[in-house]
Chains A and B, each alone.
Chain A
Amino acid sequence: MDYVFHFGPILDRWPLLLWGLSRTLELSLVSMVFGLAIGILGAVAKSFGPRPVAALASAYVELIRNTPLLIQLYFIFFTLPFIGLRLSSDTAAIVALSIHLGAYATEIVRAGIESIPAGQIEAGKALGLSGRQIIRHIVIVPAIRAVYPALGGQFILQLLGSSIVSAIAAEELTAIANNLVMQTFRNFEIYIVVAVMYFVVVQAFIMLFRLGGRLLFRWKV
């Protein structure tokens, strides 16, 4: 083993790597917000919507969950220009990631909704709450609370999965890493450093979610 590790060329470019990391976080957080919004709508549609709407929501969930993110990404990136929507690779990445996460979030939030006892909704009706109030305060908020850990896990998967958008040259950590590889030929060192960066961020988010869960859901059920 004559190989000499050179981390120097990588450490010289650490601002670039940090910028890539911030882009990865941005992609994950923005798509998480949109994905969660889609998920809540989808779950309400599946649980309370009229039959055609519920069926549509189910079809969306099944289609997205049973095809690879990479293909969804390609489909959105290459097809949308044909209907006059020319998206930058960054925008296409956010759209694809949001639609992808939306399907998983729909299933997660729906599981939360199912965990709400019917009596609780009836109690809301008996207290004279409106339908919208019931869905918001008695169904959605407790449902999200019930599935909060699952949503956190899904966010972690989204953060890791976002590395795939480097395939359409969207700018984030993995794409930056690939560029640095071409500039420095320090393949192993770069991927090790980037893997450690992902790892540290993931562990930080796991801790953050644990802390956040404790702060957000202090009241007793």
Chain B
Amino acid sequence: MLDQPIIRVCLVVGSLITAIFVLRRVRLAKVQIEDTLFWLLFSAVLLVLAIFPGIAYWAANLLGFQSPINFVYIVIIFLLLAQQFFTSIRLSQLDSKVRILTERVALNEEKVEREKLDL
């Protein structure tokens, strides 16, 4: 399937759209630069696989896949799963930070109110 030009064109287009979209967000200062690195690397990987299908042929042969396109799918799935994993960890850390901050704000508020009553 990877020998058909259309799928390679799709990969190139997908990779360029990803890169453009991410860089636009950077331009508008809507995203932190460290969060864009994954997506830029992801789009670079897609681009390399589309331009040099030989890599996919070689790897599919090495790993015993029936078709080189399966290797491309595996790479995409793996990268997205890895990203999902790190996103969940970040989310969980954010969760705990919000909890700590909320508690802090409430405790401070209580302190202020108590001091007001004492006066």
Do these two chains really belong together in a complex? no
